Chain A
Amino acid sequence: MHFANLFKWLSLALALAISAAPAQAATPRDQLVIGMNMNNLLSLDPAGATGNDVLGVVANLYDYLVELDPHDLTIVKPALAEKWEIAPDRNSITLTLRDGVRFKSGRLLTAHDAAWSLHRVLKLNLAMASPWKSYGFSKTNAEQLITAPDARTLRIALPEPTDPKMVLYTLGTSVSSAILDRDTVLAHQKNGDLGAAWLLTHAAGSGPFVLTEWRAKDAMLLDRYDGYWRGPAKLRRVVMRHVPESLSLRFMIDRGDVDLAAGMAAPDIEALKHDGRVVVQPVKRGNTYYVALSLKDARYADKRVRLALRKLIDYDGINQAIMPHYGVAHQRPVMSGLAATLPDPGYKLDVAGARKLLAEAGYPNGFRTTIRVLSDPPMINIATALQATLAQAGIDASILPGTGNQVYGSMRDRKFEIVVGRGGGGVEPHPHANLRAMVYNPDNRDEARLTNFQGWRTSFHHDAINRLIEQAVRERDDATQLAMYREVQQLYDSEVGAIQPIAQMVDTVVLSRRVHGYVGHPSATTLLRDVYKE
């Protein structure tokens, strides 16, 4: 009898609960709800955080010294630094910080915090030390070269000749350039880790939002920082919710339960494209989707075979059928939109030409090979298309799908034949950023372990190209530098480099029409301080 009563009450409660809940919830006007896959959001520490997702979070929790205009990345705009000066000898940059900026702790932000933040990145030597190490900075020279002569002046002396514009771009785009509240971080230091363990899941910045809560792989709440030096953000709160399944995300934006969906699969974006309640906003990134060959494999060391494979990629088919919402056709190692970028060479699928080259190279009947690829779209789809066109020339390719860890791990170990992947620098809008990541390989020996260079990973080594890349970044005359970068691309083309770009990456977000002021940043540092909702 008791159970019967309990059952009745429970049923009633459930029925009431279901009927009482609103059928369609609109998100609150002062909150922006973002649905995204948060699997790659692993750390918020500016010294060690990797991946594009974290850039968007860190850019709103911290301030950078400068910012890049999202409409033209080569325009550097003031942020914490109200002005800067490149020394006539191009060996240093002096930045003047604005006065009166306060961290969320209430402390005044000074040039000493800025210098310490950059020292910390180099001392910890985690993932984000890479761009600084590429300029010649190290944990031993950081304090000597990056100095704060007074509370408002930051001086960065460059250890090696380089293009100072690159350094400014790094200051505006790299997560490592976020300025931390030194005292707050040091208060949470454990065993001399410079706050690294604490900063994995906390923040200590001066940006427009405060990290209120982060439940890994679940949700992240950012609340407005009312003391922000530019004035409080228009939104009271930003909620990021982990939605790993694209179709679920599509239903959520369709129902109005999220305002912005990031990282959706192309078919779901396509389905929403004509929905008048949402806007599809593509943002071009500096990375490329590519086919990489390992020159450690004797077959691919032969230029004729590389050329044959270049002819066996169905660029048009892939770009028309697979790449919409993921990328746009692009065949050069330097990102599109820069003055130095040469027009695409217009490679086409040419099976007959490829067969001829393979026969000349001693493979008239093709050969067997493997393609390592991430099991996610669009990479796996590109690999499948490539497998089909290779087969037309008699090349029997087996696809080995894996996680990013496995695919790029095998590349770092130089244990692969073909990789279909994505990458190639491009965070800084400078040809050197791409060429360094994709082409440059100063030491091709296995023991050199230059695992951060894709040129080394693919064992592509070309002295003249290396030399040109080194000279170009030091070149003071803009016109000469431009010519050098163009020459590198021509050489890479004629030498049939190991990495063949197919498309330049595009990140597509789907936005509710209620959201205004959202401008996706090509460097993934999208700022939410001016976003508002109707």
Chain B
Amino acid sequence: MNLIEIDNLTVTFQANGRQVRAVQEVSFAVNERESYGLVGESGSGKSTILRAICGLAPVTGGTIRIGGQPLPDPRGAGFAAMVQMVFQDPYASLHPRHTIDRTLSEPLAIHGVGNSDARVVQALVDVGLPASFRFRYPHQLSGGQRQRVAIARALMLQPKILLLDEPTSALDASVQAEVLNLLNRLRAERGLTFLMVSHDLSVIDHMCDRILVMQHGRAVEELAREDLAAARMKTPYARSLFEASADRMLAAP
């Protein structure tokens, strides 16, 4: 069952009186419980697609369907309970003046969900943070800890789909490993569907089942994970991306 359907999506921004086509006629579909990756360099439009799904970018062509239904504009409470996003920069995605407790309990307050005390503590435990962090401020946490809070926040409303915008690019390698492991575990436990964006091919390979390579706002090639590992890409751009990444691997066992 296709949970996310993107059909001929075009996103155009107005900048300085000119029109910038950030995404041009991109189509793909994500199955339920699948983990789908969008990979490309800066300017490829991959993050813009996530924002368009959230209603944060101006869609000028094509359609987006979640669960078979077109999306209402503005998105509304139903959407929030179905789709949530984890942002790239852990230093910018948590409100600097709110405690963790407030950040996690606010979605519950907006949707009138009770029992927020217990839920907040449980959310912290689920992402591997001690409950004693509850009343800390973001600047008292490390980057990896903040990203865990961001993940916990995204899961407070128990969505079915998680959009991940480069969730580990700003983190150290060792912390990245922990966060990726956490995401995989949560996905398995809760049956989530992931739509993940990254510029790092090895991260995408580790996390995703199918991959769409993008460049300059267009879809270049869709690959299954096995094809990526076996270097069975058909387009030269996808291959150059692969080579630039694989090039940095040492001949490791």
Real complex partners, A and B?
no
Give chain A's interface residues, CB within 8 Å of chain B: none
